[in-house]
Structure 1
Amino acid sequence: MSEIYKTFTSESVTQGHPDKIADIISDSILDAYMEQDPHAHVACETCVTTDFCLVFGEVTSTANITRADIEKIIRETIIEIGYDNPELKFDGHNCEVVSLLHAQSPDIKQGVDREGEESGAGDQGMM
């Protein structure tokens, strides 16, 4: 009988890693939508690098959240987690922020919006 070997991998990053910063920013945006609209559908991805933050994705919501609100949430979140000094090369006061959130695609919306039924998950990729 031969032995079967399986490989298990996982990613673990420490505090301050760009993945963690991006997740916190995306979560903060999701929280803002959910606060106003508990049924919001938010597919928000965040990319961060030196003095730059990009947020993109699709949203279906009745929440009244503007692009200026999103930028404010992003900056406040970056500052709250401790990036508030230009010497850190990532400063919530001065970094460039680009928000490309937009309405959810009708094709995806059709697949995930089902009144009274379990909701689909939609696509996991951002194109």
Structure 2
Amino acid sequence: MAFQEMGKAFVGFYYPAFAEDRAKLADVYTDQSCMTFEGAQFQGKQPIVDKLTSLPFKKVNHQITTVDSQPIIGVDDNQACCVMVTGQLKTDDDPPHSFHQTFVLRPANGSFVVANDIFRLALHN
């Protein structure tokens, strides 16, 4: 699978799962995974899932604008992939906010896991 297709396929799974039941995302993280969410850092499957499931909103909708992917040369026989996502996020009755999210995907058991995940709302003070 080409890296751009891989990124789009991952995004096509991740954000609907995030909206439906964030606990289902546990399978894409490992005990070595790292996530930075709005500057707060978490490591390991359980701390990451705990953070995601503790987010206070009930409804969430991601409108994806761009998905850019590229191989990470020299990692996992060049099978690891960096995926950068931009879009808008709407939660409950709040107005939409732009966001950026970057994933590092690594091959595992015929699929991929998230090694790194960085999320940030694009808010300007």
Question: Which has the higher relative contact order, 1 or 2, with Cα contacts under 8 A spaced 6 or more apart?
Answer: 2
TM-score normalised by the chain length of structure 1:
0.36
Q: Which has the higher strand share?
A: 2
**Which is greater in Rg?**
1
